[in-house]
Structure 1
Amino acid sequence: MSVSLELVEQKLDHLAASREEDAKVIKRIDYTLRGNGTPGLNQRVAVLEMWHKDARRLGWIVLAGVAGLILNLAWEVFQWFAQRPPS
């Protein structure tokens, strides 16, 4: 079973043309995502990840603040009971 050189060349040309078409489509998609001055998809994902990290940090800060308020209230109640005259 021999393969003709002509057939191999046709297949290679077809693959090259297919890759060029794929590259054009990818370029078009990338241009569409970046169109009108909006950031590309990778940049949007990076921004969302940054916001998620900031939201998590803010959540921990709020949680620490609430825990501090609860501890402060417990301390005030403890002091109030400690200063009461015995009955």
Structure 2
Amino acid sequence: MKNIIVVAVLFLALTPVFTHGRREGDFVCPAPPLARKGSCGSTGGQSCFYIVNAAYPARRLPRNIRCVDVGVNESQCLADILCK
């Protein structure tokens, strides 16, 4: 009996931790492309990660960050963000 109570208390205590930041009505949409110099290459994804996280605050929850070549020595960082 005591074990069940402990598990229930832990569940109730941790539920807000995992649901924080997401509310009903929130949805994800594509962010405007961010220009980047140079081709994507092997480090483009990491570079875009830094560029996108500098452009959007953490409350916008950037995700699916990727680098896309758009021309010679030109690329764009694409991501999805939390919309309002």
The TM-score range, normalised by the shorter chain, is under 0.3
Length-normalised TM-score, structure 2: 0.27
By relative contact order (CA 8 Å, sep 6+), the higher-ranking structure is: 2
Length-normalised TM-score, structure 1: 0.26
Higher-strand-fraction structure: 2
Q: Say which one has the larger Rg.
A: 1
Higher-helix-fraction structure: 1
